[in-house]
Amino acid sequence: MDTFVEHFHTKKDVDRMQYEPFGRTGLKVSKVSFGTGTFSQLYGNLDEAEALEAVKVAVKRGINYFDTAPFYGQGRSEQVLGKALRQIPRQAFYVATKVGRYERDFERMFDYSAGKTRESVERSLKLLGVECIDVVQIHDVEFAPNLDIIVEETLPTLEALRSEGKLRFIGVSAYPVEVLKQIISKAPGRFDTVLSYCRNTLFDDVLKEYIPFFKEHNLAIICASGHGMGLLTNGGPQPWHPADQQLKTVCKEAADYCKREGVELGKLAMHHCTQMAGPATFLAGMQTTALVDINLDAYLNGLSEKEAEVLAYLKERVFSKVNNTNWEGVELEAYWAAMKK
């Protein structure tokens, strides 16, 4: 393994982890990867010491891919992750961040301009404490006024930064999978990775229709948030979650059933998510060593008989009630309505 470091890693854990070719990049990434949207106020108060320990434990146990973004806590996530990564040999990890989505207030939330893109990457390098970022992704491209600005400003700026040695690979993310297909078709051969989130879960499996297209374009597929941004956990989603009330009610019913049965819905969701063929890695938000353990357990050891029974019951009796499997357009409408004001 390219990222294995003698005397740092726990060899028996690394030997159990599966590493997949990451598209055409030449990298090999761990099948389970670590998302740090959780290192921000988006997911409640953060215990920083616990977060730092979670990163270290994750790397020792074979996770080698970490994902962050300026939007997660307006730099806080990158700062905390950077602090953790400074204690870890550089060879042991790959780090990915994003450009394009920044502030919490609508007026300054998105900026896909060349100038802002460059400034953002320079800031990320400092916060993360690395000389070169492995992957920089253009964040939530569906919010751009049009996709031309991505192709004419954001992407060429990232390509220039790549030639300066500040980043290695370029990716793209969005919630509507059709928009990912559009932007990749507009700039063929120019993206290395594609990140799709909440589209391979217990209530939505639309990602599988697009896997052949992404494969055709030799892209590394990052399948993120099999937990549906908290919907599929015993703790439930944050107040800002854009899903409609009916979907939230169904997920709460599932969580309540799991609690009664002494099972963690998040583990079932992670196990279900990682069964999909095609993605190079399954990215899950984590902020504690307990969550690292749950997600690795779901992937490495599968489910107990009891957990498998609970999952089968939920699939048949609970998630079959879902009316609206996604919240496409909800955040977009709110954003454009606010911008028109």
Q: Any idea which residue has 């301009």 for tokens? A: 113
CATH number for region 11-240+264-302: 3.20.20.100
Q: Is 233 left (phi over 0), alpha (psi -120 to 50) or beta?
A: beta
pLDDT of residue 87: 97
Mapped onto helix, strand or coil, the DSSP state of residue 170 is strand
Distance between CA atoms of residues 323 and 270, nearest Å? 22
pLDDT of residue 43: 87
pLDDT of residue 45: 87
The runs of H, that is alpha helices, within the chain are 11-16, 48-60, 76-85, 114-128, 147-149, 155-163, 177-186, 207-216, 245-261, 265-273, 289-301, 305-313, 330-340
Burial class (CB in 10 A: 0-12, 13-18, 19+), 306: exposed
* Phi, psi values for residue 59, rounded to 5°: -65, -45
In the chain, what are the domain boundaries? 11-240+264-302
Residues 6+ apart with CB under 8 A from 176: 142, 328, 329
pLDDT of residue 42: 86
pLDDT of residue 44: 83
Distance between CA atoms of residues 132 and 253, nearest Å? 45
Cα 51 from chain centroid?
17
72 noted as active-site residue:
yes
For the chain, 341 residues long, give each residue's pLDDT as a single digit of tens.
Answer: 699 999 999 999 999 999 999 999 999 999 999 999 999 988 888 999 999 999 999 999 999 999 999 999 999 999 999 999 999 999 999 999 999 999 999 999 999 999 999 999 999 999 999 999 999 999 999 999 999 999 999 999 999 999 999 999 999 999 999 999 999 999 999 999 999 999 999 999 999 999 999 999 999 999 999 999 999 999 999 999 999 999 999 999 999 999 999 999 999 999 999 999 999 999 999 999 999 999 999 999 999 999 999 999 999 999 999 999 999 999 999 999 999 98
Among 67, 59, 71, CA closest to 9? 59
Q: Which residues pair with residue 194 across a beta bridge?
A: 172, 221
Q: Any idea which residue has 């854009």 for tokens? A: 242
Q: Which residue is catalytic, options 19, 65, 72, 112?
A: 72
Predicted TM-score (pTM) of this structure: 0.98
**DSSP type of residue 142:** G
